[in-house]
Amino acid sequence: MADVLKTIQTPNDIRALAPAQLPVLAEDIRGVILETVSRTGGHLASNLGAVELTIALLRVFSPPADKVIWDVGHQTYAWKLLTGRQDRFHTLRQRGGLSGFPKPGESPYDVFGAGHAGTALSAALGMAVGRDRYGGSGQVVAVIGDGSMSNGISLEALNSLDEVHSKVIVILNDNEMSISENVGALSRRLGRMLADVRYNRIKAAAEAAGHRLHMTPLRRIYHRLEQAVKSLWLQNSFFEAFGLRYMGPIDGHDFNALENALCSARDYKHSVLIHVATQKGRGFRPAERSPSDWHGVGAFELDARHPPETKPGGYSQAFGEALTALAEGNAAITAITAAMRSGTGLEPFAERYPYRFFDVGICEAHAVVFAAGLAASGFRPFFAVYSTFLQRAVDCVMHDVCIQNLPVVFCVDRAGVVGSDGPTHHGIYDIPMLRCLPNLVIMQPRDTVELAAMLKTALSHAGPAVIRYPREPGPSSGLSEVSEALPVGRAEVLEPLSGAAQGPTVWFWALGDMVPLAVATAARLRSAGVRAGVVNARFVKPLDAVLLGGQAREAALFVTLENGAVAGGFGAAVREALAAGGHGQMVRAYGWPDAFVGQGTLGQLREDFGLTPERLAGEIGRSVQIS
């Protein structure tokens, strides 16, 4: 580990450093982040850009007495290194190791958890009100970055701020990026503030004078003059209309400017917003040139010029290609994403049909209602969204799409556990949240060819539909490459009953990426004398009740497998359908338990929770009394 960073055990050690040591510390931190992320994978570009800001925050404020809340949480690697976690940093995002996001159970310095964007300002307001009601004295600081200010929750919090009358400090870490490039009017306005040539010339001269006044009684006079100059050029009344004194733009890699602004905000009696300009990917040339490519990466070589390539043939890529092909013959098809154009595979669509592609920013609820408006106008919108982010808009799915039975297609990417990002990002709750909604068809393919068929199914369906698929690449397909629409609610018998003629009978109903596990487990059971068959369910809703009822007449046990939460999930749907048909067969539902699942690889998590052919065959064999 680098020399200056080695000396830091607590934030008090940072405050003891001489100013000349701070750039060295920043370089040390970037080196450790690069070396660690190259082995573990993680969020790289955003963390490299927030190093000086993190150091300055810890020099000016005194956490955990002062509350620092990060939004979004994937810019906190330097924070972890500087708040007593250096010795565990090598475990970042590993099973049992440090989280890639703020986690209150991990450190008292992490005062609020965050994996999704837009929550910090609301949480900060709550903490500030709590502080004032209890007569506390600490500062409350919300660090907002990567496009989170344009999120609806942030704007709702802004609207409430002036009514609360409790002081908060808001740091707007403006790196001009979320995961892809920022979009929208607010982002453009912030960009104009940063780019105004006349203002920045005057500001540079003023800052030179301000630095000479650093920590003197004249500093407040300097900042008042700075505010007057800003008002001439920037029309910065947007934030001030919400009760925030606006300061900035500040160079987010200039320690002097950062500490000056933070000290002024700390000493000011009312709420303040400090607009900080940082460079995403700072200190690593490839990430500086292409920050979106280096946002979240797998393990890579440190001398790499390009991020590691994702495996070809993944569901996201297959979805994007199939939707682009469908759109060629149907001008009503539109595609929507919430700041995830690349992650959801929509880049080919956006390039081919730019006027039918919409990136609404980190605004999932708006995306759903916007899609409903398009559908009500005769278009066929496909909203591509990660499962963990669709959670944020479930009310809109119900109120604005399902009640009106509008033909919106929700293409739910990363459905299932996603590995090292952990509980904030596992996409295992979409089925329980959506299955109860009338008019909604829910399906999941077992391979990428079936995904293409389901897109055609959704397009031909007159109401709303959900297609969910996992992060991992799909298996090679046994189907024809010509994908036709599927009959809604029709399952597929992959393996008819086979095994000992007189043995107990087990039917596996598996969903999507759990089909291979069902096939492997059924093979083990057959070798133990159990008659076992496998069904590719395809549809969560409506279930194939006809097939299910027919099998109930001969089955001793139904086993369901899903890459989702068992509570209220696909297995519960099978159990309910059997009961409604008057069948009393036992159902054993396998998936993820009624608990938040930790981080780890897919293989590790399946092993931890018994989702392996060996463990399943043993449990199921005992259920039907086969040794």
Q: Which residues of 483-504 are buried (b: 16+ CB within 10 A; e: fewer)?
A: beebebbebbebbebebeeebb
**366 alpha-carbon distance from chain centroid:** 17
CA-based R_g, the chain, Å: 27
Tens-place pLDDT, residues 274-310: 999 998 889 888 887 888 777 777 778 777 777 776 5
Instruction: Read off the pLDDT of residues 564-581 as tens digits, 9 standing for 90 and up.
Output: 999 999 999 999 999 988
The reply to whether CATH 3.40.50.920 applies to domain 493-623 is: yes
Q: What is the predicted pLDDT for the residue at 165?
A: 85
In this predicted model, what pLDDT tens digit does every residue of 209-238 receive, in sequence order? 555 555 455 555 555 555 555 544 454 567
| Residues contacting residue 105 through CB under 8 Å, at least 6 positions apart | none
Instruction: State mean pLDDT over 467-481.
Output: 69
pLDDT at 480 over 70: no
d(CA 263, CA 483): 62
**CATH code 3.30.1370.60 for 315-468:** no
Q: Which helix (H) or strand (E) holds 351?
A: helix 347-352
491-501 tens-digit pLDDT = 999 998 887 66
Q: What is the pLDDT of residue 597?
A: 93
pLDDT tens, 484-531?
A: 899 999 999 999 888 766 778 999 999 999 999 999 999 999 998 899
Domains 3-180+237-297 and 315-468 share a fold: yes
Per the annotation, the verdict on 280 as an active-site residue is yes
pLDDT for the residue numbered 39: 87
| Residues 555, 548: Cα–Cα separation, whole Å | 10
Separation between Cα atoms, residue 456 and residue 452, nearest integer Å: 7
282 catalytic residue (yes or no)? no
The catalytically annotated residue of 356, 392, 541, 606 is 392
Paired residues of 531 in beta bridges? 505
Kindly report the CATH number that applies to the domain delimited by 3-180+237-297: 3.40.50.970
Q: Is the dihedral of CA 356, 358, 364, 369 positive or negative?
A: negative
Between residues 47 and 468, the one the model is more confident about: 468
Rounded-to-integer distance, Cα 121 and Cα 418, Å: 27
Pairing of strands 380-386, 357-359: unpaired
Select the highest-mean-pLDDT range: 112-116, 180-184, 574-578: 574-578
Task: Specify burial of residue 37 (Cβ count, 10 A radius: 0-12, 13-18, 19+).
Answer: buried
Q: Which of 52, 176, 226, 364 is catalytic?
A: 364
The DSSP bridge pattern shows strands 380-386 and 333-337 to be parallel
Looking at residues 33-54, what average pLDDT do you find?
89
pLDDT of residue 186: 53
Q: Tell me how far apart the alpha carbons of residues 419 and 95 are, in angstroms, rounded to a whole number.
A: 9
pLDDT value at position 361? 87
Domain residue spans in the chain? 3-180+237-297, 315-468, 493-623
Single-letter residue type at 546: V
* Residue with the larger pLDDT of the pair 214 and 32: 32
- pLDDT tens across 322-353, in order? 999 999 989 999 999 998 898 899 999 999 99
pLDDT at 178 over 50: no
Give the number of C-alpha atoms closer than 13 A to the C-alpha of residue 295, restricted to the C-beta side: 16
Residue 626 pLDDT > 70, yes or no?
no
Question: To 10 degrees, the CA torsion angle through 90, 96, 101, 107?
Answer: -90
For 328, list phi and psi in degrees, rounded to 5: -60, -35
pLDDT at residue number 469: 96
Residue 564's pLDDT is what? 96
Q: What is the mean pLDDT of residues 416-444?
A: 95
Confidence of residue 249 (pLDDT cuts 50, 70, 90): confident
Other Cβ atoms closer than 10 A to 192: 13
**What does the pLDDT average to over 126-147?**
88
Q: What is the pLDDT of residue 227?
A: 55
Give the chain's length: 627
Catalytic status, residue 392: yes
pLDDT at residue 312, rounded to an integer: 47
List 505's β-bridge partners, or say none.
531
The one catalytic residue among 30, 103, 131, 280: 280
Q: Is 410 exposed, middle or buried (0-12, 13-18, 19+ CB in 10 A)?
A: buried
Question: For all residues of the chain together, what is the average pLDDT?
Answer: 86
- Provide mean pLDDT across the span 229-258: 76
Q: What is the pLDDT of residues 580-620, one digit of tens each?
A: 888 877 899 999 999 999 999 999 999 999 999 999 999 99
Question: Is 50 exceeded by the pLDDT of residue 478?
Answer: no
Spatial separation of the C-alpha atoms in residues 225 and 558, rounded to whole Å: 75
- β-bridge partners, 589: 560
pLDDT score at 71: 86
Asked whether residue 443 carries a pLDDT value surpassing 60, the answer given is yes
- Residue 194, pLDDT above cutoff 50: no
